[in-house]
Amino acid sequence: MPQEASTIIATPNHNVLTTSNGNPVDDNQNSMTAGEFGPILLQDFHLLDKLRHFDQERVPERVVHAKGGGAHGYFEVTADVSNLTSAKFLAKPGIKTPMFARFSTVGGEKGSSDSARDPRGFALKFYTEEGNWDMDGNNTPVFFIRDPLKFPDFIHTQKRNPQTNLKDADAYWDFLSLVPESLHQVLILFSNRGTPFSFRHMDGFSSHTLKLVNKDGVAHLVKWHFKTDQGIKNHSDEEAMALNGSNPDSNVEDLFMAIERAEYPSWTVYLQVMKEEDAAHYRWNVFDVTKVWPHGDYPLQKIGKMVLNRNPKNYFAEVEQAAFSPAHMVPGIDVTNDKMLQGRLFSYIDTHRHRLGVNYLQLPINQPYRTFVAHHQRDGPMNFSENFNGLPNYDPQSQAPQDLQEQRDDLRVKMSKVHLEGSTGRFSPRQSKGYKPEDDFVQPGNLYRLMKGPEQDDLIKNIVGHMKNVKNEKIVQRQIELFNKADPEWGQRVQEGLDAVKRPPRAHEKDE
Ligand code: HEM
């Protein structure tokens, strides 16, 4: 027997290498053959076991947000918000809740660069005593679109061309130039905030308007803000481009190494709070995720602190298998009529089943481990729980032990109510009462004018650097028209920038 086979350490708890079913392995270096130079035997279970597992060790990557890093930590309440919400984990200052965060880019594949110009995902899982709450946001307060029907099309334009498998600047700007409500997010994305220095140096937002509901069932509309205590820090376009080549994992590495050095990143957590009845009269549709509530109208109220202080022990188990869903809510936090949010309530729990299987909530990283899970879902592939032993798998029922009989619907859980009237239909915001043609340009125009000189210079440079690759001149002109509508100077500067750089032959030039 070769020397090394008998001394291999498999895990800290075992001193013998085993097969997946626990049998000791006699030799991990030499396959079993028929004679010294003959073919391999089918009876070499260790070889087959090893190859078969390797052959199947990839799960599908996330269809978006495939590249990312994560860490464990806690959330601490620092202000009394019991008038706003009955959520137990927010009940009083001082309560600490364990949590897990995952940060990501959006469009690239699992091996793509951390410094790509892209929004960053800001996904948080709070392990509360009332089950898990997932706050699945971004590092931007707004989004490109406001109807989930557009999401797959939008993402297709950010990914690869179906024929060339290359990134496609024409598709990218074609879609955006035809969707004026995207302009606000385009502005943020093409500022240097589109290339954050690290995950530690960026803010996070719920982006959507959510609800908090108190013990009397009174609801308030809220937006969540997570402000980095490390300060905002971004890369210039040149720095980001250089990192694409020299260290495509710079952000994942930065987070991991900072926590290893015990430099624990933290975020101060704020809410913007609006009375429900005010929404109908507000200047902006509060359920339109392409709009912010200016802080002058709804100031930030400090309510907590989030600290990340523990690295994952295993990337696949804890980061890759983490599954966040906007539908995972605790009593006291509720959804709103934001159409995008409504679409997301379906999409995530659907994709999790595709990516991780129907029992993905039994995976340790996803388990609501601080509560007793009780339901009638049973069986399914890779069910590694006790499967509720002999408890009834139906309801209503009268046969469970008395103490479990009492675990009926929780009447303390107050649902917020939404009053609705009207007919069903497909409604365009542009045709809705009160819509003004300038609506999608006011907030981006204001933000453009708020930017300081060098910030504006970088914005124009970053836009020109990307748009110069567009071949179809009609697309360029349509997008410039959108910039013009927000601020004529913005459109003019992009046009001048494009005129000054070398561009690929335009579509109409090729035809001539
Ligand atoms: C990931 C769909 C809009 C933030 C994902 C995933 C899907 C998806 C299918 C992959 C999830 C997984 O495999 O675990 C959608 C749809 C949207 C939408 C259909 C619009 C209708 C948004 C918006 C935000 C957002 C508006 C931010 C405000 C995220 C984040 C992740 C993600 C942070 C990564 C979660 C993680 O780290 O695992 N989205 N998304 N998405 N989405 Fe969305």
What digits encode the pLDDT tens for the residues 240-287? 999 999 999 999 999 999 999 999 999 999 999 999 999 999 999 999
CA of 64 to the centre of ligand 1 (A): 7
Q: What is the pLDDT of residue 507?
A: 59
Residue 4 has pLDDT above 90, yes or no: no
Q: What is the pLDDT of residue 3?
A: 38
Residue from 63, 136, 335, 350 whose mutation best tests the ligand 1 pocket (most atoms within 8 A of CB): 136
314 given a catalytic annotation: no
Range of weakest confidence among 20-24, 327-331, 414-418, 456-460: 414-418
CA of 471 to the centre of ligand 1 (A): 30
65 given a catalytic annotation: yes
Q: Distance of alpha carbon 2 from its chain centroid, rounded?
A: 49
Rounded Cα distance between 122 and 142, Å, is 13
Q: Tell me the pTM.
A: 0.95
Residue from 155, 346, 347 whose mutation best tests the ligand 1 pocket (most atoms within 8 A of CB): 347
Greatest pairwise CA separation for the chain in angstroms: 85
Phi, psi of 131 (to 5 degrees): 90, 180
Question: Which of 499, 439, 441, 444 is CA-nearest to residue 467?
Answer: 499
In the block, residue with structure tokens 């957590």: 269
Burial of 21 (0-12, 13-18, 19+ CB in 10 A): exposed
For the stretch 15-50, pLDDT in tens is: 899 999 999 999 999 999 999 999 999 999 999 999
Shortest-distance Cα residue to atom 21 of ligand 1: 148
For the stretch 391-407, pLDDT in tens is: 999 988 888 777 666 56
Catalytic residue among 65, 208, 220, 352: 65
CA of 39 to the centre of ligand 1 (A): 49
Q: What is the pLDDT of residue 417?
A: 84
Amino acid identity, residue 38?
G
CA of 103 to the centre of ligand 1 (A): 12
CB crowding 138-158: b at 16 or more within 10 Å, else e: bbbbbbbbbbbebbeebeebb
Shortest-distance Cα residue to atom 41 of ligand 1: 137
Shortest-distance Cα residue to atom 4 of ligand 1: 137
Residues in the chain: 512
SS3 percent helix, strand, coil of the chain, rounded to 5, is: 35, 15, 50
Pairing of strands 96-104, 68-77: antiparallel
CA of 202 to the centre of ligand 1 (A): 18
Residue 415 has pLDDT above 80, yes or no: no
Shortest-distance Cα residue to atom 16 of ligand 1: 344
Shortest-distance Cα residue to atom 10 of ligand 1: 62
Residue from 59, 61, 62, 135 whose mutation best tests the ligand 1 pocket (most atoms within 8 A of CB): 62
For residues 225-250, average pLDDT: 98
Closest atom of ligand 1 to 103 CA is 37
Shortest-distance Cα residue to atom 18 of ligand 1: 344
Ligand 1: residues within 6 Å at CB?
Answer: 62-65, 68, 102, 104, 121-123, 136-138, 143, 148, 151, 207, 289, 322-324, 340, 343-344, 347-348, 351-352, 355
Catalytic residue among 138, 139, 192, 251: 138
**Six token digits for residue 447:** 């933000």
